[in-house]
């Protein structure tokens, strides 16, 4: 696995969501990669995120062909707009299905799935 | 500079979509469609000197154009595979027009087909086969349901921004089913109502089963040649007036907007090349993997304002009898999605309509058709403007 992938997941397993940040472009980069996709330079540095964001859109998955998820339905697959200006696909947890909505404020949480720590999101009280 | 109207579609061939290919391969089906198109064009196989193929569904991609040419015993002066997902088929037509207009080849065969195998398609491996490494690493751990969840995110966001309703989306499936009922080749020909669509299982909320394509097996072929009024004695000529393409993202997670697609730029480029406008279009063939795809396409092409697609489809008859005939063959939603050839069915149906050969579902005004091919999750767009000579 490339170093940037390793670093991302190592940070996650120690409870931190860090993304590459390019000071030249003043932009965060998601998903991790070798070069900043805006300037194509490797001047980026890792920065920890606030973990705050909101639901940009979501779907409630009722039918899944994925073995890990067939017993999890219905579950919320969501696109999270992070406070730092990038969008990240994730799950919304601890949220009743009738309370999920576009614009819902969320905050970072972690779950274990298949022996791997994953960053997910849960509703945030404002 | 590409010269619109210098190139034309002279032959089409298409197999009836099926849920069981009877043990045949993609190559078998593609060869059958190719034979039909050559016959339809009044050409000999030896006249075909260009070959553009879309990817296979289950065979090895390796040297795919070469595999196809060997099966058909063609020795073209030019060949290539076009891989733009669902936009691949429409994009073969644009590329064939360029090659023919440039004089590189005279008769270019655009060929598409595939076998649908449920055992492969609906498995983890099947889902991973159509994902990028970034999607496998950073999306798959959260359980996206292939393309379904991507289009569901778009539909939900559109509902939030513009108040679009499930009933409005369902109307698209209902109108296309009416079209399919007039098409003997369609896979699904039972009448459905808006209530039926909304009563079908919610697969990925807000999308219901009857708003989602059914993958199946089939093949479709189109021959593009230099235009000449007496080229084909059997059919009215159909010219390629122009095309436009646009690309902004692969995964919808990183699209500039969920509700405004690159179809807007692709169609503007196609209109500019062909010198016509939205209001000049008589009928449309819009890539319809989901109902929401059609609604976004109608908005982005300019048939209504952004956000008003829901009201537009509610009040517009999209059937072959209507004011804006859309997917008159039934679309992929009712005809079936024959792998990559599903996108070619939009081209062949537009050609049938422009020739005046669409039978009971023939539209009255048939001067100008717009075809759109869409791949990924509104990721790749190829818009074609086809017209009567």
Chain pair A-B, CB pairs under 8 angstroms:
96
The stretch B343-353 carries a mean pLDDT of 98
The stretch B285-314 carries a mean pLDDT of 98
Residue A2 at interface with chain B, using a CB cutoff of 8 Å:
no
**Residue B21, in any domain of the structure:** yes
- Interface touch B134/A31, C-beta < 8 Å: yes
- Predicted confidence at residue A122, as pLDDT, reads 98
Q: What is the pLDDT of residues B255-274, one digit of tens each?
A: 999 999 999 999 999 999 99
Option in A62, A87, A116 nearest B202 (CB): A62
Q: Which helix (DSSP H) or strand (DSSP E) does residue B41 occupy?
A: helix B26-41
| Number of domains chain B contains | 1
Write the CA distances from B328 to A121, B48, B178, B273, B288, integer angstroms.
Answer: 44, 29, 9, 25, 12
Q: Which helix (DSSP H) or strand (DSSP E) does residue B173 occupy?
A: helix B166-180
Name every chain A residue with its beta carbon within 8 A of the beta carbon of B124.
65-67
Gap between the Cα atoms of B209 and B166, Å rounded: 13
For chain A, the domains span 1-48, 50-126
The stretch B39-46 carries a mean pLDDT of 96
Question: Residue B139 phi/psi, 5° resolution?
Answer: -125, -45
- Interface touch A67/B124, C-beta < 8 Å: yes
- Would you put residue B263 in left (φ > 0), alpha (ψ -120 to 50) or beta? alpha
- Interface touch A65/B127, C-beta < 8 Å: yes
**Residue B378, in any domain of the structure:** yes
Gap between the Cα atoms of B330 and B365, Å rounded: 18
Q: How is residue B335 written in tokens?
A: 């005809």
* ipTM > 0.95, yes or no: yes
DSSP B133: H
**Residue B181, in any domain of the structure:** no
Q: Per DSSP, what are the bridge partners of residue B12?
A: B222
Domain ranges, residue B279: 7-118+213-388
Q: Report the range of poorest mean pLDDT among A67-76, B282-291, B367-376.
A: A67-76
pLDDT exceeds 90 at position B240: yes
Q: What is the pLDDT of residues A17-47, one digit of tens each?
A: 999 999 999 999 999 999 999 999 999 999 9
Nearest to B105 by CA among B187, B52, B48, B152: B48
Closest Cα in chain B, distance from residue A44 (Å) = 19
Q: What is the pTM of this model?
A: 0.97
- What is chain B's alpha carbon radius of gyration, rounded to the nearest angstrom? 19
Nearest to B57 by CA among B144, B121, B122, B125: B121
What CATH number corresponds to the domain at position B357?
A: 3.40.47.10
Residue A116 at interface with chain B, using a CB cutoff of 8 Å:
yes
CATH topology for the A50-126 domain: OB fold (Dihydrolipoamide Acetyltransferase, E2P) (2.40.50)
Cα angle: B238, vertex B103, B369; to 5 degrees: 20
**Residue B91, in any domain of the structure:** yes
How high does pLDDT run on average in chain B?
95
Gap between the Cα atoms of B250 and B135, Å rounded: 10
**Residue B127, in any domain of the structure:** no
């Amino acid at each position: 696995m490339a170093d940037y992938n390793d670093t991302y997941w190592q940070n996650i397993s120690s409870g931190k969501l860090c993304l590459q940040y390019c000071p030249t472009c003043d932009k965060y980069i998601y998903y991790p990669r070798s070069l900043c996709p805006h300037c194509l330079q490797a001047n980026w540095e890792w920065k920890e995120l606030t973990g705050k964001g909101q639901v940009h859109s979501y779907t409630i998955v009722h039918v899944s062909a994925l073995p890990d998820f067939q017993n999890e339905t219905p579950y919320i697959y969501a696109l999270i707009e992070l406070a730092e200006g990038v969008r990240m696909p994730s799950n919304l947890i601890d949220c009743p299905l009738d309370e999920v909505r576009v614009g819902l404020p969320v905050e970072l949480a972690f779950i274990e799935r298949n022996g791997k720590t994953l960053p997910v999101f849960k509703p945030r009280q404002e | 500079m590409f010269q619109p109207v210098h190139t034309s579609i002279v032959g089409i061939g298409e197999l009836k979509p099926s849920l069981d290919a009877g043990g045949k391969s993609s190559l078998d089906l593609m060869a059958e469609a190719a034979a039909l198109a050559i016959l339809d064009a009044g050409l000999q196989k030896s006249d075909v000197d260009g070959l553009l193929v879309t990817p296979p569904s289950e065979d090895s991609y390796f040297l795919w154009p070469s595999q196809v040419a060997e099966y058909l015993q063609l020795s073209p002066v030019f060949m290539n595979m076009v891989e733009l997902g669902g936009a691949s088929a429409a994009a073969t037509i644009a590329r064939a027009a360029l090659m023919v207009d440039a004089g590189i080849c005279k008769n270019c065969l655009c060929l598409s087909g595939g076998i649908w195998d449920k055992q492969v398609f609906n498995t983890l491996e099947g889902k991973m086969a159509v994902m990028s490494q970034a999607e496998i690493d950073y999306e798959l751990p959260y359980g996206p349901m292939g393309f379904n969840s991507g289009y569901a995110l778009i539909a939900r966001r559109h509902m939030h921004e513009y108040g679009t309703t499930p009933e409005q989306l369902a109307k698209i499936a209902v109108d296309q089913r009416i079209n399919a009922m007039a098409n003997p080749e369609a896979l699904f020909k039972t009448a459905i109502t808006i209530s039926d669509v909304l009563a079908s299982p919610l697969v990925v909320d807000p999308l219901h089963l009857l708003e989602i394509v059914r993958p199946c097996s089939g093949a479709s072929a189109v021959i593009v040649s230099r235009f000449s009024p007496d080229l084909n004695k059997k059919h009215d000529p159909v010219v390629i007036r122009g095309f436009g393409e646009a690309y902004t993202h692969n995964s919808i997670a990183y699209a500039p907007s969920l509700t405004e697609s690159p179809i807007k730029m692709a169609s503007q480029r196609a209109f500019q090349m062909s010198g016509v406008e939205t209001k000049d279009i008589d009928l449309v063939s819009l890539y319809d993997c989901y109902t929401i795809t059609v609604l976004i396409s109608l908005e982005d092409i300019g048939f209504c304002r952004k956000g008003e697609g829901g009201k537009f489809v509610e009040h517009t008859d999209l059937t072959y009898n209507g004011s804006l005939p859309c997917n008159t063959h039934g679309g992929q939603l009712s005809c079936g999605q024959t792998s990559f050839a599903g996108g070619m069915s939009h081209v062949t149906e537009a050609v049938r309509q422009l020739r005046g050969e669409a039978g009971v579902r023939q539209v009255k005004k048939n001067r100008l058709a717009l075809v759109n091919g869409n791949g990924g999750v509104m990721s790749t767009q190829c818009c074609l403007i086809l017209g009567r000579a």
